[in-house]
């Protein structure tokens, strides 16, 4: 009896989910709550009237296309990494990083387009909210691009492959989330404008 | 006995891994050990509690003795005491604001949840450390930085933030409104951004650790209620603090960039401000979406600690373990759908008010379940009145007396009369402030032997308890009457009103009681620091408790257990089990070694347990043969 007890202690953890991946999901939850709070505030404020009406910049359609494309290349890179296809992985990661940077630039031009139609950050909350949504999303996206660059560097050093996927998986999750978040914000703006 | 051996065997295996050569900085300052981080939170929390308490004494002096000459405070407060020796009115508002902010966020969120979640989660679930020790360290240092910023705002020439801890705009948004809305408010917002970041990093760590790093056999149905409460607290924080961040962000834009999220049609000195189209009620919605869950962030850990301490010191299993978990889950969910009961008089649709009233009153159900479970656990138990136990019972008392007035305030019709009076102050200071403070004290007295390897002095603990317990009731009970009489909160002075003059002596009484209660805390302070160095050396399991932390060495190193992490075979509340020799059976004791006390359904689990052990034994033997 005693002998057996001795062995059982060395047993493994009951559930072994990668703790850092799990923490990333929790971080995503908190980001979701920030935007849920802001978009709810938008609806509540809109219902009170005195709301400036204007057309959304068309450039949002382009940026949405770009971020969807970047999610596709990200997934391509992810599959290549799992298949140990290093050349494709590097290409996929490079494309995703570039598309991410292009997205941030197009978002900047959406602000230029807003200014062109006399919608400023300071003024009716209808416009200010738009700046806050895009700005805060772009801030998260920049953090995503930094993450992409870190992973890109380690792919160039052949540190990402089918046996070492944790960071790649986290990067993929975060990037898809950022894309999904933008699509949510864009749909939200289209429906509630 | 196979039992006790389990925790001491195999000490050779991981020793090498646990040896760290720490210097002073990595051991006491930039540490990644969850135990030291917990202690850092505790000591910082005590520091803030003293500041927060002292600020309340200052404004109690003003309220109790409005005519008093306060010149003797000039060395400390300088220009805040004017030539006639009375307290500056704007500084009074700042005192109230900072007292609220410090107590709610720095003491009862970081000091309570930060201390005990960090300290107890890995120890009670059987983990070496938190999921990310580095992020945990960052969490403390963000809190520390936030504290430094908030502390420095106390010394501004224009004073710290003065718009109340709820920082409602437009008062908080316009620098012209009060001096405290200038630099003080800016620093408040910066400090809170760091605080939110700290809480989120801590919370993500707690949740990840509880879900992923439990030891073998530690199923969710075997978790101590402390861990359940810390876990749910972290979930609430994760969902509500980001919304406060969103609210504060928009406020920052309104203050510093000239947007109008919360500001509309304001005239100052006959001049219209440029802001148009904002909605101050929007801020209240966003703020209270955090603000109400925050109440439970403060309270739930205290309730969890109480469950553990009451069960241990009643020598009885906690009554209704599952009901406790379900009611905590219920409180967690309900806490997100009742926020607008803080806004009954903010101009809300009365129909909406009825819905929020209904949801608010439902919270009484899980709260009552918890209270009855505490009482039934105490009922006919072998009560051992340690100081921790007294504080736990004190918490139950405050939870009842403060909770009952919550039923009054939750009714929108009654709230219109009582809103923003001292009745509200009495209510939340009992049910949230004092109850959580007692939970904190209960935890400190109970886990002090584990934290510092020494015992605190019991006699001083009793004196501290009775002074505080009686003191709290003397301070807050009269406030109910003052509130029903119609005294508004946050007023600098009410001696100008005729109806108020009859209560001058009651206010004086409250102030004297507050000063005595505050002074009484120095007994604790002495006991805490004296016992840390000079206290009696603690036995390994001083309270004869079942949970895992008492199976660690007296001074656990980084990694907690010198050998393997013990496995868990039973729930943590096997106290006074019929048939058992001892009146407690630690979680590490297998069911197969206690046939005399097993219940019928546990006998079935014994065979399962044996099968698993045999299987694992074979695997290990096979491995060794290789």
- Check residue B274 and give its pLDDT: 87
At B268-309, the pLDDT tens digits run 888 888 888 888 999 999 999 989 999 999 999 999 999 999
pLDDT one-digit tens code per residue, A143-175: 999 999 999 999 999 888 888 888 999 999 999
The tens digit of pLDDT for each residue in B234-266 reads 999 999 999 999 999 999 999 999 899 999 888
A10 neighbourhood in chain B, CB within 8 Å: 10, 13, 564, 620
Contact B612, B411 (CB under 8 A): no
Euclidean distance between CA atoms B449 and B134, whole angstroms: 26
Question: Where exactly are the structural domains of chain A?
Answer: 69-193
CA B127 to chain A, closest CA, distance in angstroms equals: 9
**pLDDT of B500 above 50:** yes
pLDDT at A13 over 80: no
Q: In chain A, which residues have their Cβ closer than 8 Å to the Cβ of B218? A: 14
Q: How many CA atoms lie within 13 A of A137 on its CB side?
A: 32
Percent of chain A with pLDDT over 90: 75
Q: What is the 3-state secondary structure (H, E, C) of B194-223?
A: HHHHHHHHHHHHHHHHHHHCCCCCCCHHHC
CB B551 within 8 A of CB B7: yes
- If one compares A20 and B189, the residue with the highest pLDDT of the two is B189
Asked if B567 contacts A11 with a C-beta cutoff of 8 angstroms, the reply is: yes
DSSP secondary structure, B426-467, as one string: HHHIIIIIIHHHHHHHHHHHHHHHHHHSBPPPHHHHHHHHHH
pLDDT of residue B15: 40
Residue among B209, B239, B277 minimizing CB distance to A124: B277
pLDDT at A71 over 70: yes
**Residue B21: which pLDDT band, with cuts at 50, 70 and 90?**
low
pLDDT at B349: 85
**Vertex B621, ends B615 and B626: CA angle to 5°?**
130
Query: Does the pLDDT at position A97 exceed 60?
Result: yes
| Higher local confidence (pLDDT), B228 or B10 | B228
Question: In what helix (H) or strand (E) does residue B271 lie, and over which residues does it extend?
Answer: strand B271-272
Answer whether residue A72 shows pLDDT above 80.
Answer: yes
* Alpha carbons B94 and B189: distance in angstroms, whole number: 15
- A131 CA: distance to closest CA in chain B (Å): 11
Smallest Cβ–Cβ distance between A34 and the set B218, B219, B246 belongs to B246
Q: Is the pLDDT of residue A132 over 70?
A: yes
Handedness of CA B591, B595, B600, B606 (dihedral sign): positive
Residue A190 has pLDDT above 50, yes or no: yes
Alpha-carbon distance B145 to B354, whole Å? 42
What pLDDT score was predicted for residue B601?
A: 85
Q: Is the pLDDT of residue B228 over 50?
A: yes
Altogether, the residues listed in chain B come to a count of 626
Task: State the pLDDT at residue B18.
Answer: 44
Looking at every residue in chain B, the average pLDDT score rounds to 91
Residue B271: per-residue pLDDT: 86
Q: With an 8 Å Cβ cutoff, is B73 touching chain A?
A: no
Contacts of B282 (CB under 8 A, 6+ apart): A41, A44, A45, B261, B262
- For the stretch B530-569, pLDDT in tens is 999 999 999 999 999 999 999 999 999 989 999 889 999 9
* B480-499: pLDDT as tens digits: 999 998 889 999 987 777 77
Q: Reduced to 3 DSSP states, what percent helix, strand and coil does chain A have, rounded to the nearest 5?
A: 75, 0, 20
Q: Please tell me which residue of chain A has the smallest CA distance to B592.
A: A1
A-contacting residues of B 264-293, CB under 8 Å? 264, 276-279, 282, 285-286, 289
How far does B156 lie from chain A, in Å, by closest CA? 29
Please count the other Cβ atoms lying within 10 Å of the Cβ belonging to residue B73.
16
Residue A164 β-bridge partners: A161
Percent of chain B with pLDDT over 90: 77
Neighbours of B49 (CB within 10 A): 21
Q: Which residues, in sequence order, are CB contacts of A129 under 8 Å at separation 6+?
A: A38, A41, A42, A45, B261
pLDDT recorded at residue A16: 58
- Model pLDDT, residue B137: 95
Q: Does position A177 have pLDDT exceeding 50, yes or no? A: yes
pLDDT value of position B34: 95
pLDDT in tens, A32-58: 999 999 999 999 899 888 888 888 999
pLDDT at B563: 86
* Section B586-613 average pLDDT: 85
pLDDT tens figures, B349-392? 889 999 999 999 999 999 999 999 999 999 999 999 999 999 99
> A17 and B211: CB-CB below 8 Å?
yes
pLDDT band at B431 (very low <50, low <70, confident <90, very high): very high
The structural domains of chain B, ordered by start, are 2-18+29-265+275-534 (1.20.210.10), 548-625 (no CATH)
Q: What are phi and psi of B457, to 5 degrees?
A: -75, 125
Question: Is the pLDDT confidence value at B2 over 60?
Answer: no
With CA atoms as reference, report the closest residue to A8 among B385, B222, B590, B261.
B590
The reply to whether residue A14 touches residue B218, judged by beta carbons under 8 angstroms, is yes
| pLDDT class of B10 with cuts at 50, 70, 90 | very low
Q: Where are the alpha helices (DSSP H) in A83-124?
A: 86-116
Distance from CA of A50 to the nearest CA of B (A): 6
Q: Give pLDDT, residue B608.
A: 79
Alpha-carbon span B454 to A94, nearest angstrom: 58
Name residue, tokens 């109850």.
B435
Count CB-CB contacts under 10 A for residue B108: 29
Residue A17 has pLDDT above 80, yes or no: no
Instruction: For residue B20, name the pLDDT band (cuts at 50, 70, 90).
Output: low
If one compares B609 and B575, the residue with the highest pLDDT of the two is: B575
How far B469 CA lies from chain A's nearest CA (Å)? 38
Average pLDDT, integer, range B440-469: 97
ipTM, two decimals, is: 0.89
Residue of chain B nearest A22, judged by CA positions = B208
pLDDT band at A192 (very low <50, low <70, confident <90, very high): confident
Please indicate whether, in this complex, the C-beta atoms of B132 and A13 are within 8 angstroms of each other: no
pLDDT of B520 higher than 60: yes
- CATH number of this structure's domain A69-193, picked from the four choices 1.10.1060.10, 1.20.120.80, 1.10.150.120, 3.40.190.10: 1.20.120.80
Average pLDDT in the A78-97 region? Answer: 94
């Amino acid at each position: 009896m005693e002998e057996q007890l001795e062995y059982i202690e060395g047993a493994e953890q009951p559930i072994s989910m990668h703790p850092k991946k799990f923490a990333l999901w929790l971080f995503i939850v908190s980001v979701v709550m920030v935007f849920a709070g802001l978009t709810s505030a938008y609806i509540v404020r809109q219902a009170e009237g005195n709301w400036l009406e204007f057309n959304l910049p068309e450039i949002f359609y382009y940026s949405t296309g770009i971020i969807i494309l970047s999610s596709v290349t990200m997934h391509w890179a992810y599959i290549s990494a799992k298949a140990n296809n290093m050349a494709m992985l590097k290409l996929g990661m490079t494309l995703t990083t570039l598309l991410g940077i292009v997205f941030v630039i197009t978002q900047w031009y959406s602000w230029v387009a807003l200014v062109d139609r006399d919608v400023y950050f300071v003024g009716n909350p209808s416009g200010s909210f738009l700046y806050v949504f895009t700005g805060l999303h772009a801030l998260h996206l920049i953090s995503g691009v930094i993450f992409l660059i870190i992973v890109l560097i380690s792919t160039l050093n052949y540190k990402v492959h089918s046996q070492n996927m944790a960071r790649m998986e986290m990067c993929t999750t975060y990037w898809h989330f950022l894309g999904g978040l933008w699509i949510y914000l864009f749909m939200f703006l289209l429906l509630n404008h | 006995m196979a039992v006790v051996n389990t925790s001491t065997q195999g000490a050779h295996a991981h020793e090498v891994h646990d040896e760290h050569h720490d210097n002073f900085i990595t051991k006491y300052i930039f540490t990644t050990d969850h135990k030291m981080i917990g202690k850092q939170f505790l000591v910082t929390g005590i520091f803030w509690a003293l500041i927060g308490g002292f600020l309340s004494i200052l404004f109690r002096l003003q309220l109790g003795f409005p005519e008093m000459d306060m010149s003797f405070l000039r060395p400390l407060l300088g220009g805040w005491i004017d030539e006639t020796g009375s307290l500056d009115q704007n500084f009074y508002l700042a005192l109230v604001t900072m007292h609220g902010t410090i107590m709610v966020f720095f003491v009862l969120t970081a000091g309570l949840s930060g201390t005990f979640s960090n300290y107890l989660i890995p120890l009670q679930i059987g983990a070496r450390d938190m999921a990310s020790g580095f992020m945990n360290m960052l969490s403390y240092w963000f809190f520390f930085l936030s504290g430094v910023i908030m502390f420095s705002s106390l010394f501004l020439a224009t004073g710290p933030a003065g718009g109340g801890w709820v920082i409602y705009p437009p008062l908080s948004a316009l620098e012209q409104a009060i001096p405290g809305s200038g630099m003080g408010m800016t620093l408040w917002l910066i400090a809170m951004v760091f605080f939110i970041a700290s809480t989120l990093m801590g919370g993500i760590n707690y949740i990840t650790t509880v879900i992923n790093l439990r030891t073998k056999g530690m199923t969710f149905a075997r978790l101590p209620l402390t861990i359940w409460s810390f876990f749910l607290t972290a979930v609430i924080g994760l969902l509500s603090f980001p919304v406060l961040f969103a609210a504060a962000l928009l406020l920052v834009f309104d203050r510093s960039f000239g947007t109008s999220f919360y500001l509309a049609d304001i005239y100052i000195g006959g001049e219209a401000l440029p802001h148009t189209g904002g909605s101050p009620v929007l801020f209240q919605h966003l703020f209270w979406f955090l603000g109400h869950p925050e109440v439970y962030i403060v309270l739930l850990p205290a309730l969890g600690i109480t469950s553990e301490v009451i069960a241990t010191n009643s020598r009885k299993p906690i009554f209704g373990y599952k009901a406790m978990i379900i009611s905590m889950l219920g409180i967690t969910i309900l806490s997100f759908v009742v926020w607008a009961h803080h806004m009954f008089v903010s101009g809300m649709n009365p129909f909406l008010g009825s819905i929020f009233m209904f949801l608010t009153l439902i919270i009484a159900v899980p709260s009552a379940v918890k209270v009855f479970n505490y009482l039934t656990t105490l009922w006919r138990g072998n009560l051992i009145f340690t100081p921790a136990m007294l504080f736990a019972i004190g918490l139950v008392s405050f939870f009842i007396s403060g909770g009952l007035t919550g039923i009054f305030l939750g009714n929108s019709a009654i709230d219109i009369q009582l809103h923003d009076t001292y009745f509200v102050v009495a209510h939340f200071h009992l049910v949230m402030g004092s109850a959580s403070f007692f939970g904190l004290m209960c935890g400190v007295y109970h886990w002090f032997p584990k934290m510092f390897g020494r015992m605190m002095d019991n006699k001083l603990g009793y004196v501290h308890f009775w002074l505080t317990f009686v003191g709290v009731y003397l301070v807050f009970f009269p406030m109910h009457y003052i509130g029903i009489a119609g005294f508004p909160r946050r007023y600098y002075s009410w001696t100008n009103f005729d109806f108020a003059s009859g209560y001058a002596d009651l206010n004086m009484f409250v102030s004297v009681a507050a000063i005595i209660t505050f002074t009484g805390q120095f007994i604790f302070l002495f006991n805490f620091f004296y016992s840390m160095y000079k206290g009696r050396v603690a036995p390994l399991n001083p309270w004869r408790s079942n949970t895992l932390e008492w199976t660690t060495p007296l001074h656990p190193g980084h990694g907690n257990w010198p050998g393997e992490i013990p496995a868990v075979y039973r729930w943590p509340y096997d106290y006074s089990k019929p048939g058992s020799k001892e009146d407690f059976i630690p979680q590490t004791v297998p069911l197969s070694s206690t046939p005399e006390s097993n219940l019928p359904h546990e006998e079935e689990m014994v065979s399962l347990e044996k099968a698993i052990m045999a299987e694992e034994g074979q695997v290990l033997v096979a491995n060794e043969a290789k």
